[in-house]
Chain A
Amino acid sequence: MPSQHFSVALFLAIRSIQRGNRFTFFLTVMIMGLVFVNLVFLPSIISGVVVNFNSQSINYNYGNLVIEPRENEVYISGVSEVKQKISQIPGISGSSPRFSAGATYHYHDNQLSGQITGFNPRYEQEVTLIHTKMKDGDFLAEGDTDSIVLGTSLAGNIDERLDQVDSLGGVTTGDSIDVTFSNGVRRTLRVKGIIESGVYSVDRTAFITLKEIESVYGLSDTATILLVKLDGDGQEDKYKRILMEYGIAERIRTYQEKGLGFVNDAIRSFEIINAISTMVSLVIAIVVIFIVIFINTINKRRQIGILKAIGINKNIIVYSYIIQVFIIASCGILLGLLFSSGLVLYLTYKPLMFPGGAVLPVVEAGSIIRSIMSLALVSLISGFIPSWKTANEPILDAIRGN
């Protein structure tokens, strides 16, 4: 294209936006901006859910890595030796053996079945944040016997209507409850504290010391899993290899692998919703740009015909519309970025509540770039088609207007 074609087109486009219909311009930019927000927003919530889920998995359920019993075995035996081996590895900040079993809780007339987990309170604090989430009372200490801490939704409220799920009906610190373990042993334990972590699996369970549960089962130096915490997140696969190299023969899984089934289903559903919403917003963008340019060129049909008659190359006319659309899309994207940042800021201070806690929107560069590209692309195409159609109309048809 000769350079003067571009500069004339640019000139026409700028004047047209400067002196054309302001209202249409702002409205179109506004719609583009909102479409952009829509393109960015839902993925940011999905990312937020993923980030949230990951940090909960790490901080409350699994640590970064989980060591599980060897194949065909129920327990990790000689767990202190395994822990010893692990603690030599640089980059590992802690590990906590846990022993989980099924149990039935009895409190007054209420009876509930669930899980009970034993851990060493000191080791557990190196790995998870459960100890920071005491709603009432105290966390377990190393030498505690006959003590239990309960998750808040297990403990429940005296007023049943406040419970979201079945509970023991309002256990409080200092109460005693009976626990029947899966091997039939029944013990009366004093409630030392109530945990409220916001993580369902934690708030639904109860914790005692590892010593206690070992004595119930008549085992020692045994665990069902061993949680491993790394200095930083994101290197799980690397440390999984390192642990194997250090001679850990037990099964090693990353927290992602542990959480896979559940979160993947949720994310897949989210992504289908997102794909639909993306498509709808892009179609809106296409239709809006198309209609705006279409009506504009229809209104200017005669003028375009005469410009072509006096020798203005039809490409100049097409370019000038494409440049206009480009400017509209750019302003729309900028506005959309502004809106999105505002929304993200707002939702950072007033986060959305999901099952499993507050979700902060996480805007990823990839999703921003994808949104910019797709919006720019659909705008250009839907601006190009009507302007090209009008600019290619035979001159005399355009001038006569029939």
Chain B
Amino acid sequence: MIEVLDVTRVYQMGLVEVQALRGVRCSIQQGEFVGIMGPSGSGKSTLLHILGLLDSPTSGTVTIDGTDVGLLKEQEKSEFRLNHLGYVFQDYALVPELSVRENVVLPAMARGAPPDTYLKESEEILRQVGLGHRIDHRQYELSGGEQQRVAIARALINRPGILFADEPCANLDSNTSRTILNLFRELNEKYGQTIIMVTHEEWHEEFMCRVLYMKDGLIDGEKACKMRENKN
């Protein structure tokens, strides 16, 4: 569970202060698929980065599963991200010299997991994301959507508690976006994967349980999405 308390983030740009976040307060439960939406510049990415330990708030606290992550040192944050968090970015940033499988197992190797375990897991996860037939291919042989799915598999290899995604479909056409979102929904529904995703597109709402709307550095409102309401 994530608990966000009065988080602010101020960027100092020379003499000008930019208030990217002005006191955000929210909580996200385990197993949720939460969307963050809002106009450009409203602070969505800033909030996601702070939740994902890639940035520190100017004030306020973030607690993840009981750990006040503001107290962690840089190396501890790196470890925490490796072991507990997964990330998917707009640009896939695969290592071009590695094969699909090698990209996916990299975080597991860095963690010191035994090879036979992570090799097996990587196959399973790649099958899950629909790339079971592409295991030994290289990045240049894959389409954008396939590359993003490799990035998702890489984010999942260490079985993270929370998966963060910042506009993962921004570079994809709507059909490909749909397969990615379906994949997220499946991960969420079938395996209870907690997902926090920033997006611009209204139609993505149908895949999520809850949407937080941001405006001018604050959470301006939220809504539980129909899909999940119907289900419950």
Contacts and interface: CB of A to CB of B under 8 A. Distances in A.
A18 to B, nearest CB: 7
A310 B155 contact: yes
Interface string A374-402: 00000000000000000000011001000
B98 interface: yes
B97 A308 contact: no
A289 B94 CA distance: 25
Given A310-B86, A311-B81, A399-B89, A8 B95 contact: no
A47 interface: no
A92 B109 CA distance: 70
A205 to B, nearest CB: 70
A2 B112 contact: yes
Interface residues of A, number: 29
Interface in A306-340: 306-314, 316
A87 B158 CA distance: 86
Contacts of B109: 4, 7-8, 11
Interface string B79-90: 111110111010
Contact of B106 (A3, A8, A18): A8
A313 B91 contact: no
Contacts of B155: 310
Interface residues of B, number: 33
Q: Which 10 A-B pairs have the closest CB atoms?
A: A311-B82, A306-B93, A4-B112, A311-B81, A19-B97, A15-B97, A8-B109, A303-B93, A16-B97, A312-B110
A396 B97 contact: no
B152 to A, nearest CB: 12
9 contacts: A3-B112, A4-B112, A20-B97, A309-B52, A309-B89, A311-B83, A311-B85, A312-B82, A313-B110
Interface string B18-47: 000000000000000000000000000000
Contacts of A131: none
B71 interface: no
Given A12-B97, A310-B86, A310-B155, 13 more contacts: A8-B109, A15-B97, A15-B98, A19-B96, A302-B93, A303-B94, A307-B93, A309-B87, A311-B78, A311-B79, A311-B82, A313-B75, A396-B49
Contacts of A8: 106, 109-110
With a 10 A CB-CB cut-off, give which of B55, B87, B110 has the most chain A CB atoms: B110
Interface of B: 49, 52, 54-55, 75, 78-83, 85-87, 89, 91, 93-98, 102, 106-107, 109-112, 138, 154-155, 158
A399 B88 CA distance: 12
Interface in A275-327: 302-303, 305-314, 316
B54 A309 contact: yes
A355 to B, nearest CB: 55
A83 interface: no
Nearest to A302: B93
Contacts of B111: 4, 311
A3 B158 CA distance: 18
Nearest to B83: A311
A312 B106 contact: yes
A302 B78 contact: no
A310 B107 contact: yes
A190 interface: no
A136 to B, nearest CB: 71
